[in-house]
């Protein structure tokens, strides 16, 4: 099996995650993560129960006691790992289509694995595979999970706003037919919001299908048609969030982080008056933070790199433009529902429209992002087209920037160009897309 760890665990077509591979991976995890207890969750994909059974079989073969959480958001798994000091795994391919799946591991304490630990896992998996030993994976139905375990996660999110209410807000919630389909509307309703629910009827194949944070058009239209105050959209495993303001305009992760950073700084809750983001964040974000006397630390793409910087610097807030937001004083990983609750609480406390809050936090520079599907990987893609990048950067000067990188989860090369003019950014991005295709297709 050639699957390797990317920026967010192991991910690929569900057929590649066969029982033998998954069971061997589980055995490796049991040996490397070193605990006799393990918690498992999954999203709503039709392949989830099969992969869950294989994970359980592999873990139990190594003597682990396994607790099945059933369909839960990824941050619910991390939350229980943190509270109980045990490792866990989430069966999910996040924002990918239903025919993909993946496995995200959490160490005891709820943190994602470091590069060093992932390398150790890969080595142990290889040794197990080479040994020829195997584990029998039973078929049939899985155990019914304890609903009270999910309630613990829900309570932790609700308690994050310190007994305040979201009463008076009309909120559209797009659950992406994913893991947040029950939990998210329930929590927001219990906090007092009037909730209008979209795409919360998972059938195993409709997760992320023209809905959720990767396809927010339905959300934007529903906010306007229902005269809602705001809309929030999750991805398939509910660890990321995008929003729509009262006019139906999209609010991305940069804007969410900017609003929360300013609010926390004003309340003395932004550690070191610093926020952590990735190289994909809009240049307008950095300008906005400078205007509000907030320092910015930049990392490679991937929420675990953001988390690493948060940990090493003792910072409390960070995230990605895609909507992964980490409130490190409240959670150990990106949490879409927690982010939604924090954002809505900010609206209630301020008494302001979402559009006003977003506009005051930052102004987005025109940014064009294009994904180039490649037939062969070019590990040093930047070096391969460096002359083309240099030429574009020279034309943009100080008023723009370029970022070219290979996706860590899909056979894509991502090309991002920022400029003061959207047409210029689009033209420059097309030039770099042509350069990528020249060397990788």
Tell me: the pLDDT tens digits for 55-108? 999 999 999 999 999 999 999 999 999 999 999 999 999 999 999 999 999 999
Question: Rounded to 10 degrees, what is the CA torsion of 78, 79, 84, 85?
Answer: 40
Is 407 among the catalytic positions? no
The candidate with the shortest Cα–Cα distance to 324, out of 207, 413, 242, is: 242
Q: Which domains does the chain have, with CATH numbers?
A: 5-146 (3.40.120.10), 167-251 (3.40.120.10), 252-362 (3.40.120.10), 367-440 (3.30.310.50)
Tell me the mean pLDDT in the region 402-420: 88
> How many of the other CB atoms lie within 10 Å of CB of 89?
28
Question: Do 441 and 429 contact (CB within 8 A), yes or no?
Answer: no
Residues 50 and 57: their CA atoms lie apart, in Å, by: 11
Mean pLDDT value across the chain: 94
> How many of the other CB atoms lie within 10 Å of CB of 217?
14
Q: Are strands 9-13 and 100-106 parallel, antiparallel or unpaired?
A: antiparallel
Q: Which residues contact 125 (CB under 8 A, 6 or more apart)?
A: 24, 25, 28
DSSP 3-state assignment of 72?
A: coil
Residue located via tokens 């006691």: 65
Assess whether pLDDT exceeds 90 at residue 407.
no
Q: Looking at 15, 47, 92, 94, which residue is catalytic?
A: 94
According to the model, what pLDDT value does residue 3 have?
64
Band of residue 145 on the pLDDT scale cut at 50, 70, 90: confident
The candidate with the shortest Cα–Cα distance to 84, out of 153, 179, 155, 158, is: 153
Angle formed by the axes of helices 336-350 and 183-190, nearest 10°: 30
Count of residues for the chain? 441
Tell me: the pLDDT tens digits for 224-236? 999 999 999 999 9
Band of residue 115 on the pLDDT scale cut at 50, 70, 90: confident
The candidate with the shortest Cα–Cα distance to 55, out of 88, 84, 78, is: 88
Question: Rounded to 10 degrees, what is the CA torsion of 430, 436, 437, 441?
Answer: -160
Tell me: the pLDDT tens digits for 162-174? 999 999 999 999 9
Assess whether pLDDT exceeds 60 at residue 1.
no
Band of residue 7 on the pLDDT scale cut at 50, 70, 90: low
SS (H, E, C) 170-220: EEEEECCCCCCCCHHHHHHHHCCCEEEEECCCCCCCCCCCCCHHHCCHHHH
Alpha helices in 7-114 (DSSP H): 19-33, 48-61, 74-84
Assess whether pLDDT exceeds 70 at residue 40.
yes
The candidate with the shortest Cα–Cα distance to 230, out of 255, 264, 263, 209, is: 255
């Amino acid at each position: 099996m050639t699957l390797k760890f990317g920026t967010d665990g192991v991910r690929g077509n569900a057929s590649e995650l066969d029982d033998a591979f998954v069971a061997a991976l589980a055995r490796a995890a049991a040996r490397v993560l070193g605990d006799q207890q393990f918690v498992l969750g999954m999203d709503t994909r039709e392949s989830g129960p099969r992969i869950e059974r294989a994970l359980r079989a592999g873990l139990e073969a190594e003597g682990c006691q396994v607790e099945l959480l059933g369909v839960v958001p990824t941050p619910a798994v991390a939350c229980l790992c943190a509270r109980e000091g045990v490792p866990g795994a989430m069966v999910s391919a996040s924002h990918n289509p239903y025919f993909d799946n993946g496995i995200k591991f959490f160490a005891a304490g709820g943190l994602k694995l470091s590069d060093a630990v992932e390398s150790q896992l890969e080595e142990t998996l290889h040794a197990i595979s080479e040994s020829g030993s195997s584990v029998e994976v039973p078929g049939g139905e899985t155990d019914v999970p304890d609903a009270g375990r999910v309630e613990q996660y829900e309570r932790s999110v609700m308690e994050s706003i310190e007994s305040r209410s979201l009463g008076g807000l009309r909120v559209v919630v797009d659950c992406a037919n994913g893991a947040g389909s029950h939990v998210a509307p329930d929590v927001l309703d219990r906090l007092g919001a009037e909730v209008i629910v979209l795409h919360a009827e998972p059938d195993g194949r409709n997760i992320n299908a023209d809905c959720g944070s990767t396809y927010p058009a339905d959300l934007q239209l529903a906010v306007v048609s229902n005269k809602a105050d705001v809309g929030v959209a999750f991805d398939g495993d509910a660890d990321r969030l995008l929003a729509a303001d009262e006019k139906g305009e999209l609010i991305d992760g940069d804007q969410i982080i900017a609003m929360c950073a300013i609010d926390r700084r004003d309340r003395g809750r932004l550690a070191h008056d610093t926020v952590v983001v990735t190289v994909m964040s809009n240049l307008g974000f950095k300008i906005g933070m400078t205007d509000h006397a907030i320092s910015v630390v930049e990392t490679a793409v991937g929420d675990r790199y953001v988390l690493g910087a948060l940990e090493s610097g003792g910072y409390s807030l960070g995230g990605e433009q895609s909507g992964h937001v980490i409130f490190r004083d409240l959670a150990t990983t990106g949490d879409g529902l927690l982010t939604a609750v924090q954002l809505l609480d900010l609206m209630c406390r301020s008494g302001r429209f979402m559009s006003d809050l977003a506009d005051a936090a930052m102004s987005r520079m025109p940014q064009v992002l294009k994904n180039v599907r490649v037939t062969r990987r070019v590990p040093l893609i930047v070096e391969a087209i460096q002359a083309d990048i240099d030429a574009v950067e020279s034309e943009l000067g100080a008023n723009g920037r370029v970022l070219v990188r290979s996706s860590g989860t899909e056979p894509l090369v991502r090309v991002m160009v920022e400029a003061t003019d959207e047409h210029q950014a689009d033209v420059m991005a097309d030039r770099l897309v042509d350069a990528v295709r020249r060397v990788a297709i």
